[in-house]
Structure 1
């Protein structure tokens, strides 16, 4: 059975639920010690859309240098994502070569073990030529 909470005497902003992570009810910036990827992404998108860095910095309570670093990391990640090829012919050849080397290595190990087993056996199974 569910209990209903008594909401009398509770501040309205507590009951509102989703409030900006960087603003309190009065609109003043609140210091956030740990930023999630989603929050960083939203701030960087604001910067990429052309909002002034100093205004965003004041609003979210993060230094301009850190915001610039977030933007550079985002752009670097975007560059890396755009450079990725869907089907690189050199990578396909490399994968084939690695697979072939693995097969040859297994074959060599099997032959070595067979040679060791034959070396341990006495001269059984050998025929004389005369």
Structure 2
């Protein structure tokens, strides 16, 4: 019995060590694994421009520092958009600017607008 327990614990240690040492490979080469209930983990959204900056929702291209410096008392960015951008940042491991681009492209697609900003409506006519 002791031999079986020793063998099992040795197997578990070796397996855990191998998985730990190859985690970078698995992270980039295996599709994302979705654990049941993992999407329901609660995280509070920031409720001010200062909180948005702390959450990583600002960059040199989309600077919220001016809002904070001016004492803007509004509630910050739109909660639904903020949650979606944070989700993209976390899920796809992107920077704020990359996630914001993906978010806007997805919104464009849902509204029948191409990635170049032109409507996909076949009846659309443009004069330049």
Question: What range describes the TM-score normalised by the shorter chain of this pair?
Answer: under 0.3
Pick the structure with greater CA Rg.
Answer: 1
TM-score, with structure 2 as normaliser: 0.25
